[in-house]
Amino acid sequence: MTKADIVNEISKNTGIEKVTVQKTVEAFMETVKGSLVKGKNVYLRGFGSFIVKKRAEKTARNISKNTTIIIPEHYIPSFKPSKSFVTKVKNNVK
């Protein structure tokens, strides 16, 4: 499902114009991104959490050049679904 599909579905279910729904969805995504960039997690009860995870420094290998490189510690965005969300998907997807 793409962002356009989500906008169409919300518009169809609520009767709100697609342009308004699109602006709302984009504003939501920008708000989540902005919070994660600031290091603040976003919690949506019954849906899940958008969190910032810290990855530790590690040693990796460049196989083509046969060299070792050090990847510094860094932060990545992550999504952790709620238990009710996981249960619903587990029981309904075939």
pLDDT, tens digit (0-9, with 9 covering 90-100), for 52-73:
999 999 999 999 999 999 999 9
Query: Cα(20)–Cα(22) distance, rounded to whole angstroms?
Result: 5
Does residue 71 or residue 94 have the better pLDDT? 71
- pLDDT band at 34; cut points 50, 70, 90: very high
Instruction: Quote the mean pLDDT of the chain.
Output: 95
Both tokens assigned to 65: 């050049």
**Residue 94 pLDDT > 90, yes or no?**
no
Q: Which amino acid is at 22?
A: Q
Both tokens assigned to 47: 């849906």
Query: Cα(88)–Cα(94) distance, rounded to whole angstroms?
Result: 12
- pLDDT band at 11; cut points 50, 70, 90: very high
